[in-house]
Structure 1
Amino acid sequence: MQAGFFEDEPLSSRREELVGTVNRLTAAARRVGLPVFVITTVHSRDRSTWTLNMLDDDQGYLFAGDPTTELVEGLDTQDATRVEKTRDSAWFGTDLHLRLKNLAVDRVVLVGVSTHLCIVQTARDGYAMNTRMSVVTDAVATERPDYEETVLQQLVDDRQATLETVDEVIARWSSADAVT
C-alpha cells in the first residue's frame, strides 16, 4: 500500500476503494485485539538490496526516503507494527516469523498489493513456515489483473492459502472462535 505502486493503472483507479476496504478490516482486527502489521518494501540506492531484475535493468525503485515508499494517503496504520522488506515475500530477510511466533499468531490475513507478486509469495512462504494464510480477495489488487485469478487459484489448489472476503473475515473474527 505504498504510493509507488499506485502511480499507474490499473492500481491508481482502485486506490481509494482499496484503502477503504483495508481500513475496514484493520478496524475490525483492532476491535477483537488482533495485531496489525504494515509491510513495506524499501531499497538502498547502493544496489545492495536490489533484486535480480533491478540489477539486470540497472533500475532501482522504492528507495528509502523517496515519496514512492510512503504509505498511500488515508491508510489507517495507527498502532500497527511496521516491517520493511526488500523482496516480494514479507518473510524473506525480515523478523516477521519471530514477531508472529512471539504473539502466538497461527493465521495471517493478507491484504494489499501486488497480488501476483508480494501477496502470493508471502502466502507461499507463510505456508512454508507452517502458518495458515488467508488472502482477502476484495482487499488485494495488482497491476496485472490478468494474472490475479490464476495465481490465487493456484494457492487454493496447492492448499497454501484460503480465499476470503472482508465480510467473511470480519464474521469469523466476530464469532465465538474470534481470535483466529
Structure 2
Amino acid sequence: MGAEKEAAASMGRPRDDMATEALLRVARDLVTRHGYRAVSIQMIAAEAGVGRQTLYRRWPGKADLVLDAFLASAAAVEDPGLGSVGEALTRYLQDLFKNLERDGPAIRSLVASAQEDPQFLDSFRQKFVWPRAAVAAGILQRAAKAGELAEDADLEAALTALHGAFWYRLLLGEPLTPEFAARLSASIVRSLR
C-alpha cells in the first residue's frame, strides 16, 4: 500500500508541472494572437484546460502570468563578461534583439497595456525592463572601472539613449537587426570616450 501511495504522490507532481507549462504556453499564445487587453484569465484557464483556482495558485493575476510566459520563452540576456565594452555591448544587444524581434507584436501590446494598468506597468518594469537594463549598466560600469571610458562619461544618459533607441524601433515596428545592434553599440561607446 505504501508503494501505491508513493506512486500516486509522484504522479501528482508532473501534473502540476504540466498545468504550469500549459498555462504559460497558452497565455503567451493568446497574447501573441489577440493582444494583452483582449485576453482574460478565464480564456487562459479554459484553453489550458485547468480551473481558474489552479491559475491563481501559481500567479496573483494576469499580469504576472503573462510576463512569466514571455520570460519563460525568452533566452537569458546576460553580460558576456569578456572583450571590450563595444564587443560586450554589441553581444548584449544582439541577444536582446533576438527576443524582442521574435516577440515584437506581443511586446508592443504589453507596452501599450502597461500604460493603462499601473499594476501591470510595475510588474513589466520589475520583471522585464529593469533586469535587462541592469545588464547594460553593468557592462558600462565595468568598462568605466577598467578605464575604457572617459572619467566624466555620463553613463545614465548613455543607458537612456541605448534603451530609447531600441524601444523606439520596437514600438514603431522597425527591424532590430544584428547590424543595428553593432551600430548602436559603436555610437554609444564613441559618446562615452
Task: Please give the TM-score of this superposition, normalised by the length of structure 1.
Answer: 0.23
Q: Which has the larger radius of gyration?
A: 2
Which structure dedicates a bigger proportion of its chain to helix? 2
Task: Please give the TM-score of this superposition, normalised by the length of structure 2.
Answer: 0.22
Which structure dedicates a bigger proportion of its chain to strand? 1
